Amino acid sequence: MSPKLAIRPRLRFLEAAATPHGLDSYLEQVDPLLVTGECRAEVVGVERGTEESVTLTLRPNRAWRGFRAGQFVNVTVEIDGVRHQRCYSPACAEPRRRDDSGLYRPLFGPSASEVLEIAVKRHSKGLVSNFLVDRAERGMVVGLSQAEGDFQLPEPRPDSILLIGGGSGITPLMAILRTLLAEGYDRPVALLHYAPDPERAIYRAELERLAAAHPNFQLARSYTRAPGAGELDGHFSPLHLPQSDPDFTAAETFACGPPALLDAVRGTWANGLEQRLHVESFVPPTFVPVGEAGEGQVRFAESGVEVTNSGESLLAQAEAAGLTPEYGCRMGICHTCTCRKRAGTHKNLLTGEVSSAPDEEIQLCVSAALGDLTVEL
Amino acid sequence: MTTALPTAPPPASLTAVDGLTTNPYGLSPEQFEQLGTELDAIRQRVLADRGQRDADYIRGVIRTQRGLEAAGRGLLWAGVFPPAWLAGTAALSLSKILDNMEIGHNVMHGQYEWMNDPKLSGKQFEWDTACPADQWRHSHNYMHHTHTNIVGKDRDIGYGVLRMSEEQPWKPYYLGNPLWATLLATFFEYGVALHDLEVERIAEGEVSLADKRELLKGIGAKVRGQALKDYVLFPALSGPLFVFPLAGNATANIVRNLWSFTIIFCGHFPEGTHEFSEEETANETRGQWYHRQLLGSANLSGGRLFHILSGNLSFQIEHHLFPDLPANRYGEISVEVREICERYGLPYNVGPLHRQFGSVVKKVCRLALPDSTGGVTRKLGGAVKKAGRVTSLARAIPRLRPRLSR
């Protein structure tokens, strides 16, 4: 019998005794990592390479179910009382899998047996990233989602692999590379890395070490603002593809970086090669309003309904589209119509406040969409 | 449970102030407008200022509540020792009071939704009482807060079992008003749970029990869970001494019931609070809505601990003006609200608990009897001020009685 089954009856008793708040809400008062129904992680390592970035080592709690190299996690931090989320790709090697129950869920203690490494870079509008770069410290507890994303190293491992990364889009590729090399992958793997200059190229030293130690790993850098400093120059072009193996487009290719890089890569992998290309877009969050009331599309995600934004309250638009959301006062006081906004910019019609934060609770009756918006309704 | 309500309330409209009935203090349309603007400004300022200290506050209260609960349950486990029983019952009572008043009520108003923490989302929160949270959100957040003190719409006026307004026609049943009130206070959590059941409408045959099946199912599930915890599981842990935790848990539930009944009835029924009719309030402006909330609510004076244990409903006026602002802010805002009331010549009804509750008790007893003068005292004219307080608007203004049974 698995350990999980053995403890279930006891947990059920405890949950009944802890109704209606649930066992976790008592456990977390003792230690925030003790919760069983929610993934959280403790920051156990903080390495500040430059003022622009920080590398964090996270130890998830028992709820963590592990990840595949290339996947991402949502990290939640609280800034001035408000929870904010941002996704990061762990850059560490995926742990060697033994069996599903043993590795990630020790029976006792708050933590999983593995740690995660994420690299965080400062950028102008990056609320969460800048907070972590400035304020992350050992002992801090952050929220964590389970790992998500189809961008992952396939099994069995392909015969040759090409990695193309731009900026901090290198992180999921690091996870893939480290995983491959750690498990003794001996077929060709190449990395094209684009960064503004050597100083801002994260993992530079480690990549050089790896390239020196593993003859099957070929490393090529292009520093777009420091021509001549890397093996290559300028932005991505097909000419950057490894010359040693003219057939490198036959490799499984993983690309992650800013939209311009990915567009160029997609252009090259057209004509039937698309199925060998795996792409993870890497877009910094936008916090600027992207339109006027009355522009864009409003999507009611759970109903699968999409309408042209009329600029009216989202409640009125939902009703006009034939939906029947719960509502009460229709004047912004009772919160009956509160819904989660997934993405987009909304304006509070009472306060005039504008917000572009994703995953935010909004009151439909007093919120209007500015441009495209998606709500869970 | 409620996907759509049978009738949509009109949106806050901008129709002109019509006549005297909603306006006992003679505010001009411009003043109503200005009142709305001033109160909106307070709201905006607090909204923009919400932050870490509010988050720390509510988490601190939750932490205290969880601690008190754990301590209470632990002590009651050993409840065979009288000091442990007393301390355990006290701790559990306080825990349930904090849970319902300062945490549950306020979180379910959406006061902390801006924190974006799913556990503090108004829509997901569940509390330690018999009433299922989703039903409460309908009967309280919407029905009571939108239709505050509108006789026939706001079911907090008497909870369908008491006569709390002259506008409710007297019948012999109401002779039992003081007795019904005592029973309601003792078993208040069930009174609240049955709020949406509209027992009086079932009694009058307007709706059938079958119409309320879903509602009853929800209540049943919640009551079962609560009873299992308080009256089976925790007593069972004490084995043959189960009777001590059992009695302690029951006592804590009743202490919480009496306390929340007292605080809640002091919010809208002390002498001087106004009632309104549906007709009067049909086309309210935002300023008029604020004005109705002001006149329909009453505050309690007291110390910081008292305010916390009352769930800051001791600032009922501020709560009704701004039901979704974090409750820990009401104390600060109250200074400004009071000053605004003075400037507009509006009453600001505040008094210590014993006086406000005394006046509620008097009202419960007085309304048990038929109106002595058979409504002859309902003279034409503005509200009569008397000893600094104001007589009920309902008595001062003649109009058709709204049918209670609507």
Which pLDDT value is given to residue B243? 97
Cα–Cα distance list, A280 to A89, A149, B176, B201 (Å) = 10, 9, 71, 60
Per-residue pLDDT tens over the stretch B298-349: 999 999 999 999 999 999 999 999 999 999 999 999 999 999 999 999 999 9
Look over chain A and give the mean of its residue pLDDT values, rounded to a whole number: 86
Residue A340: its H or E element: strand A338-348
Instruction: Using a pLDDT cut of 70, give the percent of chain A over it.
Output: 88
- pLDDT over threshold 80, residue A5: no
Instruction: Kindly indicate the confidence band of residue A10, based on its pLDDT and cuts at 50, 70 and 90.
Output: low
Cβ neighbours of A328 in B, within 8 Å:
5, 138, 141-142, 146
Which pLDDT value is given to residue B220? 95
Same domain, A139 and A20: yes
Q: Which residue in B47, B117, B323 is closest to A83 by CB distance?
A: B117
Per-residue pLDDT tens over the stretch A257-300: 988 899 899 888 887 788 889 998 766 544 344 556 668 899 99
Give the number of beta-carbon pairs within 8 Å between A and B.
125
Q: Do A16 and B228 touch (CB under 8 A)?
A: yes
Q: Which residue in B40, B122, B126 is closest to A338 by CB distance?
A: B122
Lowest mean pLDDT across A342-351, B41-50, B319-328, B385-394: B385-394
The verdict on residue B4 lying in a domain is no
Task: Assign residue A369 the CATH number of its domain.
Answer: 3.10.20.30
Q: Which residue in A327, A330, A333 is closest to B323 by CB distance?
A: A333
Size (chain B), residues: 406
Distance CA B347, CA B40 (A): 19
Q: Do B52 and A80 touch (CB under 8 A)?
A: yes
Residue at B97: amino acid letter: I
Instruction: Using a pLDDT cut of 90, give the percent of chain B over it.
Output: 69
The verdict on residue B315 lying in a domain is yes
Distance CA B296, CA B315 (A): 13
Cβ of B11 under 8 Å from any chain A Cβ? yes
Q: Do A359 and B289 touch (CB under 8 A)?
A: no
Which of B37, B39, B58, B66 should one mutate to test binding to chain A, selecting the residue with the greatest count of A CBs within 10 A? Answer: B66
Residue ranges of B 92-111 with Cβ closer than 8 A to chain A: 109-110
Cβ of B233 under 8 Å from any chain A Cβ? yes
Which of B65, B123, B154 should one mutate to test binding to chain A, selecting the residue with the greatest count of A CBs within 10 A? Answer: B123
Domain that holds residue A123: 3-144
Residue ranges of B 29-88 with Cβ closer than 8 A to chain A: 40, 43-44, 47-48, 50-56, 62-63, 66-67, 70
Same domain, A272 and A303: no
Same domain, A19 and A110: yes
By the 10 Å C-beta count (0-12 exposed, 13-18 middle, 19+ buried), B166 is classed as buried
ipTM reported for the complex, 2 dp = 0.84
> What is the DSSP secondary-structure string of B309-320?
HTTTGGGHHHHH
The verdict on residue A87 lying in a domain is yes
Domain ends where: A281, A308, A332? A281
Cβ neighbours of A333 in B, within 8 Å:
141, 145-146, 323-324
Distance CA A316, CA B104 (A): 30
Instruction: Using a pLDDT cut of 90, give the percent of chain A over it.
Output: 56
**A344 in helix, strand or coil?**
strand
Tokens encoding A105: 């869920």
Domain ends where: A257, A281, A305? A281
The verdict on residue A150 lying in a domain is no
Question: Is cis: bond before A106, omega within 30 of 0?
Answer: no
Q: Do B4 and A80 touch (CB under 8 A)?
A: no
The verdict on residue B368 lying in a domain is yes
- pLDDT over threshold 50, residue A1: no
Task: Assign residue A16 the CATH number of its domain.
Answer: 2.40.30.10
Q: Please measure the distance between the N-terminal and C-terminal CA atoms of chain B and give it in whole angstroms.
A: 22
By the 10 Å C-beta count (0-12 exposed, 13-18 middle, 19+ buried), A108 is classed as exposed
Q: Which of B373, B366, B389, B72 is nearest to B234 (CA)?
A: B72
The verdict on residue A15 lying in a domain is yes
- pLDDT over threshold 50, residue B383: no
Which pLDDT value is given to residue B384? 36
Look over chain B and give the mean of its residue pLDDT values, rounded to a whole number: 86
Lowest mean pLDDT across A357-371, B4-18, B171-185: B4-18
Domain ends where: A98, A114, A144? A144
Cα-flanking dihedrals φ and ψ of residue B352, to 5°?
-70, 160
Tokens encoding B45: 């300022």
Which pLDDT value is given to residue B365? 96
Distance CA B39, CA A212 (A): 69
How much is the pTM? 0.84
The verdict on residue B71 lying in a domain is no
Closest residue of chain A to B104, computed from CA coordinates? A21
Is the CB of residue B107 less than 8 Å from the CB of residue B324? no
Distance CA B380, CA B378 (A): 7
Which pLDDT value is given to residue A3? 40
The verdict on residue B123 lying in a domain is no
Cβ neighbours of B235 in A, within 8 Å:
none
Q: Do B54 and A81 touch (CB under 8 A)?
A: yes
Q: Do A81 and B138 touch (CB under 8 A)?
A: no
Number of independent structural domains in chain A: 3
Closest residue of chain B to A85, computed from CA coordinates? B116
Which of A334, A355, A365 should one mutate to test binding to chain B, selecting the residue with the greatest count of B CBs within 10 A? Answer: A334
Per-residue pLDDT tens over the stretch B338-378: 999 999 999 999 999 999 999 999 999 999 999 875 443 34
Q: Which of A108, A136, A126, A152 is nearest to A41 (CA)?
A: A136
Q: Which residue in A19, A20, A82 is closest to B114 by CB distance?
A: A82
Please name the residue ranges forming H helices in B78-187.
82-97, 106-108, 133-136, 145-146, 177-186
3-state SS of B192-247?
Answer: HHCHHHCHHHHHCCCCCHHHHHHHHHHHHHHHHHHHHHHHHHHHHHCHHHCHHHHH
Cα-flanking dihedrals φ and ψ of residue B199, to 5°?
-55, -35
Range from A189-203, B50-64, B184-198, B381-395 that averages highest in pLDDT:
B50-64
Per-residue pLDDT tens over the stretch A158-212: 999 999 999 889 999 999 999 999 999 999 999 999 999 998 888 999 999 999 9
Q: Which residue has the tokens 């994703």?
A: A358
> What is the DSSP secondary-structure string of A175-240?
HHHHHHHHTT--S-EEEEEEESSGGG-TTHHHHHHHHHH-TTEEEEEEETTSTTSSSB-SS--GGG
Same domain, A115 and A42: yes
Number of independent structural domains in chain B: 1
Tokens encoding A113: 């047996």
Same domain, A166 and A140: no
Range from A318-332, B35-49, B267-281 that averages highest in pLDDT:
B35-49
Q: Do A353 and B47 touch (CB under 8 A)?
A: yes
Per-residue pLDDT tens over the stretch B73-124: 999 999 999 999 999 999 999 999 999 999 999 999 999 999 989 899 888 8
Cα-flanking dihedrals φ and ψ of residue B368, to 5°?
-65, -30
In sequence order, which residues have a C-beta less than 8 Å from that of residue A325 and are 6 or more positions away? A315, A318, A319, A337, A339, A364, A377, B3
Q: At what angle do helices B52-77 and B82-97 cross, to 10 degrees?
A: 150
Q: Do A351 and B44 touch (CB under 8 A)?
A: yes
Higher pLDDT, B2 or A220: A220
Give the mean model confidence (pLDDT) for residues B255-284.
Answer: 92
Is the CB of residue B158 less than 8 Å from the CB of residue B164? yes
Cβ neighbours of A347 in B, within 8 Å:
none
- CA A205 to chain centroid, in Å, comes to 24
Distance CA B132, CA B125 (A): 10
Which pLDDT value is given to residue A334? 82
Same domain, A341 and A313: yes
Instruction: Kindly indicate the confidence band of residue A109, based on its pLDDT and cuts at 50, 70 and 90.
Output: low
Per-residue pLDDT tens over the stretch B182-206: 999 999 999 999 988 888 888 888 8
Domain that holds residue B180: 29-47+131-396
The verdict on residue B60 lying in a domain is no
Tokens encoding A77: 């931090």
Sign of the dihedral defined by the CA atoms of residues B79, B84, B86, B90, in that order: negative
The verdict on residue A349 lying in a domain is yes
